[in-house]
Amino acid sequence: MSDGPFLVPVLGDQLSHDLPSLRAVDKEDAIVLMMEVADETTYVKHHKAKIAFLLSAMRHYAEALRGAGWTVDYVRLDDPGNTGSFTGEVAQAIERHGASAIHVTEAGEWRVRAMLESWQDRFSIPVTIHEDDRFLCSHAEFDSWAAARTQMRMEFFYRDMRRKTGLLLDRDGQPEGGQWNYDADNRKPAPGRDLLMPQPIRFRPDSVTKEVLAMVADRFADHIGSLDHFHFAVTRPDALRQQQRFLDEALPRFGDYQDAMLTDEPFLWHSVLSPYINAGLLDPLELCHAVEKRYRAGKVPLNCAEGFIRQIIGWREYVRGVYWHEGPDYGRRNALDAGRDLPGFYWTGETDMHCLAQAIGQTIDHAYAHHIQRLMITGNFALIAGIDPHQVHVWYLEVYADAYEWVEMPNTVGMALFADGGLLGSKPYAAGGAYINRMSDYCGTCRYDVKQRVGEDACPFNALYWDFIARNQRKLARNPRMAMPYRNWDRMKEEDRAAIREQAARFLHDLR
């Protein structure tokens, strides 16, 4: 051993045994430092279940490392002398162990990156920050890709990632089936309640998780969310069991119904694997190869395999690239000058709009909603109601177990709210009640009438949609993908337009 051991801090979203910083050292010369700190649990008011999932997963991961022969120094949130910050705990660990150097894998967020980089000046020992090669596309590679384009469209990035990985390519390097993207086949409405619909495994909390749940319930009582439905896998073996359940039971119909929504069915055919991928318990490329293998064995249709792989090596990698390419101020963009406060029902689910009550209610219960609920229900409402994008961003970051700023911010600011002015999405994803009615069964039991635009029983999404179109005409009318909505708006009678805008104004006034 050298003058002192290498200190290897491992963060809560780095729970992989193949972490670059672990590969850089020998077990005999290293001490792994894991830290539960107040700064990370409260910089936003994370969902109780999100905090419990990560802390339990960290504790289980530490035990797995010890079982593999690593020495682990683990700091618990309620330990006496806990400084409450990564920097404070690293400083104490350097002194405690006489560490000679620090090896750490790069952070996933701008805020933590700045913290890690400050260690290089703060501490008197060498600090090496290793590139996180768990992602396919490095920061430099994405910056180079973006610099060569006037528009950073995901579709072309995704094709490059397909070529890089070889996933779903034929022997000539061409896409399986003759086309790159089968999204047009993946928009079927909800098929109705199916007693044989697959369900994710609900894991029973063990003694470690029970201890964490009790601590979170006590310490974070004022945070959003319930712990009554806690069912997460908190170890890699259990996360792999959940992965296998998805591959066996849900993937064969995932593509068809990935945009569908059903009352009291939060999971449908979705994988529910994103918390495990983003925390490091599952390897995204390994998962994509497993999906491809199912397709090539004839067990999964091409549209399902391609649709899932596109979400991982296309969209997930792409939004990470956008996040780092655009810089830490990206989350403050507000191209449409939206400034209303986020309504209180986003924290309670108490609203007569059944679609929002469903999406928010299951978010409170499970710290989960699938991508169409996030984009076309909670996100769409915030967009057409003109809610402040930063407030919406913070809410999404707080409430979902898979939400880290690098993945959540571009999805919210760019995709859902068009607050970046079209950098990420080619048009605003604004819709009235007709879309929700087509893709769900929500409207059938709603107190509002999805077919009405004005009146006491009119679906609020309808008037808000057209009000959004009208008030943003100067900024959006030249967008070619918005030509049809503006033609339809211009065709309406003046008195109808006035009634719609008055309806929206009343609703927005009452929303306050």
pLDDT digits (tens, 9 = 90+) for 389-436: 999 999 999 999 999 999 999 999 999 999 999 999 899 999 999 999
Contact 419, 382 (CB under 8 A): no
Amino acid identity, residue 337?
D
Contact 202, 208 (CB under 8 A): no
**Residue 30 β-bridge partners:** 6
Of the chain, the end-to-end C-alpha distance in Å amounts to 64
* Cα distance between residue 466 and residue 488, in whole Å: 10
The CATH-assigned architecture of domain 344-511 is Orthogonal Bundle (1.10)
* Cα distance between residue 94 and residue 35, in whole Å: 14
* Total Cβ atoms within 10 A of residue 128: 15
Enumerate the domain spans of the chain: 6-130, 139-203+229-326, 344-511
* Total Cβ atoms within 10 A of residue 384: 27
* Total Cβ atoms within 10 A of residue 361: 18
Helix (H, G, I), strand (E, B) or coil at 33: strand
* Cα distance between residue 421 and residue 427, in whole Å: 9
* Cα distance between residue 457 and residue 446, in whole Å: 10
Helix (H, G, I), strand (E, B) or coil at 102: strand
Please report how many Cα atoms fall inside a 13 Å half-sphere around the Cα of residue 508, on the Cβ side.
24
User: In 3D, which of 256, 249, 259 has the Cα closest to residue 294?
Assistant: 249
Helix (H, G, I), strand (E, B) or coil at 169: strand
* Cα distance between residue 9 and residue 7, in whole Å: 6
* Cα distance between residue 9 and residue 416, in whole Å: 34
> What is the phi/psi pair of residue 346, to 5°?
-65, -20
Strands 6-10 and 71-75, by their bridges, are: unpaired
The pLDDT value given to residue 344: 97
Contact 21, 103 (CB under 8 A): yes
* Total Cβ atoms within 10 A of residue 263: 16
* Cα distance between residue 366 and residue 345, in whole Å: 17
pLDDT digits (tens, 9 = 90+) for 35-75: 999 999 999 999 999 999 999 999 999 999 999 999 999 99
- Alpha-carbon torsion, ordered 189, 195, 199, 204, to 10 deg: 150
What CATH number does domain 139-203+229-326 carry, 3.40.50.300, 3.40.50.2300, 3.40.1390.40, 1.25.40.80?
A: 1.25.40.80
* Cα distance between residue 352 and residue 447, in whole Å: 6
Q: Which residues of the chain have pLDDT under 50?
A: 1
Helix (H, G, I), strand (E, B) or coil at 101: strand
Q: What is the pTM for the complete model shown?
A: 0.96
What CATH number does domain 6-130 carry, 3.40.1280.10, 3.90.550.10, 3.40.640.10, 3.40.50.620?
A: 3.40.50.620
* Cα distance between residue 110 and residue 301, in whole Å: 39
Q: Residue 508 is inside which H or E element, if any?
A: helix 494-511
Q: Where are the beta strands (DSSP E) in 139-184?
A: none
Per-residue tokens: 104: 């750490």
Buried b (16+ CB within 10 A) or exposed e, 151-187: ebebeebbebbbeebebbeeeeeebbeeebbbeeebe
User: In 3D, which of 438, 279, 262 has the Cα closest to residue 362?
Assistant: 262
DSSP 8-state class, residue 345: G
Residues 6+ apart with CB under 8 A from 496: none
Enumerate the H helices of 284-414 as residue ranges. Answer: 284-296, 302-309, 317-326, 354-366, 371-373, 380-385, 389-399, 405-409
What would the 3-class secondary structure string for 415-481 be? HHCCCCCCCCCCCCCCCCHHHHHHHECHHHHCCCECCCCCCCCECHHHHHHHHHHHHCHHHHCCCHH
Per-residue tokens: 190: 């909800």
Helix (H, G, I), strand (E, B) or coil at 135: coil
* Cα distance between residue 358 and residue 342, in whole Å: 17
* Total Cβ atoms within 10 A of residue 449: 15
